[in-house]
Amino acid sequence: MGFNGGGMVEAGTYQWDSFVFDLTDAQRGGTLSYTDGSGAVFHWPVPAVNSGPELSKVKKGIAGDYS
């Protein structure tokens, strides 16, 4: 679920994007691993609780409010 309009992100700037996962209790607090096409592996910690700077927007979107 993203909250940007797509398109280019200018150099020196950033654009928040959010990813939402349905996790079991056993998966909370674990590690998300991604392997790209060249075989490089990237790891991100998965919080044990719902969190993040865009959490309120994600919750609104799940409820159908995209304003």
- Residue 16: domain span: 1-67
How far apart CA 23 and CA 38 sit, in angstroms, is 27
Q: What is the pLDDT of residue 56?
A: 87
Q: Give the residue with greater pLDDT, 46 vs 20.
A: 46
45-54 pLDDT, tens per residue?
988 988 888 8
Q: What is the pLDDT of residue 5?
A: 57
What's the number of domains the chain is made of?
A: 1
How far apart CA 38 and CA 18 sit, in angstroms, is 24
21-63 pLDDT, tens per residue?
788 888 889 998 999 999 999 999 988 988 888 888 888 888 8
Alpha helix ranges (H) inside 1-67: 55-62
How far apart CA 2 and CA 41 sit, in angstroms, is 23
Cβ–Cβ < 8 Å for 46, 28: yes
9, two tokens: 């992100």
Cβ–Cβ < 8 Å for 32, 46: yes
